[in-house]
Amino acid sequence: MSFARDMWWESLLFFYMSSDSARVPSLSPGQREIAAQAITSDLRFVFKASNYWFSFFHLPTFFGNFFEPARRKEMQPSLVLALLAMSTFWQSSEVGIGHTGRERALRFRDEAQSALEASVNAGWLDETLAQAAWVSPVSDNSFGSLPVVSSSYLPFSKFVHIPGIPLSVVSQLWSCLILSFAPYR
């Protein structure tokens, strides 16, 4: 798991600088900076576009962790990937990024789900995993697939039964679940 913690950011930078058809063999410092700025811009967009859904995020802490390389390694990749999936999808109308953006958003969503499952299987359980588990079904809802949303909440609810999960994570999960149904009251 240590390797995954060290490499997820590098992989994300490469993904941002690659087209769908070709992978970039290496990144120059300038390309790394451009990719990091694009990722930051997309993350800021998602929090500005829907502040209600993310009201439980403490944004100074989130971005403080994100901008500090040593603390970024400790962030759940699935959280960042799910947020990027939502941001990319929300910007992908035909007036915006279009079909290419929607396909890219689906790739982010799939990567986020894989990263979430890998963290659970490796026992990397923390508050940001709880946030990732909540954001993933919301991102599925953004893609307009109600059956996918319903099935996404099933693994979310099973997180509380994982042996050894810290009480703080269980508390965060329940808070997220309650918040997710607040708009329907």
Residue count of the chain, please give it: 185
Residue 20 lies in a domain: no
* Amino acid found at 126: D
Residue 121 lies in a domain: yes
Residue 105 lies in a domain: yes
Residue 103 lies in a domain: yes
pLDDT per residue of the chain (185 residues) written in tens, 0 to 9: 566 677 899 889 988 888 655 566 788 899 999 999 999 999 999 988 876 667 777 889 999 999 999 999 989 999 999 999 989 988 887 777 778 888 888 889 888 888 888 888 888 877 788 778 777 654 444 454 433 443 444 455 556 556 666 666 666 655 655 555 544 44
- Domain that residue 137 falls in: 2-15+28-184
Q: Which of 166, 140, 144 is nearest to 155 (CA)?
A: 140
Residue 22 lies in a domain: no
Provide CB contacts within 8 A for 177, sequence distance 6+. 134, 153, 156, 157
User: For the stretch 9-27, what's the b/e string if a residue is b when 16 or more beta carbons lie within 10 angstroms of its beta carbon?
Assistant: beebbbbbbeeeeeeeeeb
Residue 21 lies in a domain: no
Residue 93 lies in a domain: yes
* Domain count along the chain: 1
The C-alpha atoms of residue 184 and residue 180 are separated, in whole angstroms, by 9
